[in-house]
Amino acid sequence: MTDSTRTAHSTRHSTTRRNVLRGTVATAALAATTTAPAGPAHAAPPAGGGPEIGILLYDGFSLLDPTGPAEVLSRLPGATVTMIAERRGAVRTDTGDVAVVAERSLDEVDRLDVLLVPGAGNRGTVAAMNNRTLLDWIRRIHRHTRWTTSVCTGSIVLAAAGLLDGRQATTYWAAAEYLEATFDVTCLPRRHVRSGKIITAAGVSAGIDMALYLASLLAGADTAKAVQLAIEYVPQPPFDAGDASRADARLKERALRLLEESQGQGQGPRSHPGVRLG
């Protein structure tokens, strides 16, 4: 690109107030309706007037597990989504590449309308299962939630807290045997499973599907559909390889090897330095 075309571009979009999204033309008309969000009323509305949703982060979580549902649920009328961990500050993913900020520590949160527990790699899941502080907090919060939910191996953490006793649930495809062998849980190979007020989702990306279902429970189907359009969720995977029940042994082994290697087992820390925060 030449300098002259660059200048031309700069001129064309130099306005600082500009409506990129078509919907902003309707802003004035909609302003009157913003105080009366659609969907059923909430029993105990928090500050935002909608559900108070808390997502538990812990060291080694898988990035998409909390962020997919957070993208969906943060669009619900009046909803707040809060990342929570043992301590405030950055919590790092299983690969070590990315850190998400926990805005609240466990002892700052007593009540939630919705609790979501994400999954993690082997190391993170095992550590969470053996973390009494985490499990006690999950049990305490669960008493008063409207919905207690998990993604991927998050259901193993819920099980370790004793919440899945005698229930049906789902989990990550490679963890289903472990879940059934270790706890009194019947594991169903479904995208998400509802048992009472507990909803468990299958692996990683299943959190998005579960969150849209949860959105319909919280705010009605019409609102959930609007959220689906808002995130343009009309998935078109370039391959048909995501279903473990149809995958051959070679592909499964390759998938698990990628997971293990990306989690740096035997490799030492990733090449970028960890940023210590909080």
Q: Which of 151, 152, 193, 201 is catalytic?
A: 152
Site residues (CB under 8 A) for a copy of itself, limited to 120-139: 121-122, 125-127, 129-130, 132, 139
Q: How many residues bind a copy of itself (CB under 8 A)?
A: 138
Q: How far is CA 108 from CA 60, 84, 179, in A?
A: 22, 9, 30
Of 63, 140, 168, 188, the residue at the interface with a copy of itself (CB under 8 A) is: 63
Closest approach of a copy of itself to the CB of residue 242, in Å:
4
Q: Which is nearer to a copy of itself, 168 or 216 (CB)?
A: 216
Q: Which is nearer to a copy of itself, 26 or 41 (CB)?
A: 26
Of 44, 87, 107, 222, the residue at the interface with a copy of itself (CB under 8 A) is: 222
32 binds a copy of itself (CB under 8 A): no
144 binds a copy of itself (CB under 8 A): no
Site residues (CB under 8 A) for a copy of itself, limited to 168-207: 172-175, 177-178, 182-183, 191, 202-206
Residue type, 214: L
220 binds a copy of itself (CB under 8 A): no
Of 87, 111, 144, 252, the residue at the interface with a copy of itself (CB under 8 A) is: 252
262 binds a copy of itself (CB under 8 A): yes
Of 76, 116, 185, 218, the residue at the interface with a copy of itself (CB under 8 A) is: 76
187 is catalytic: no
Of 59, 89, 140, 180, the residue at the interface with a copy of itself (CB under 8 A) is: 89
Residues forming the active site: 152
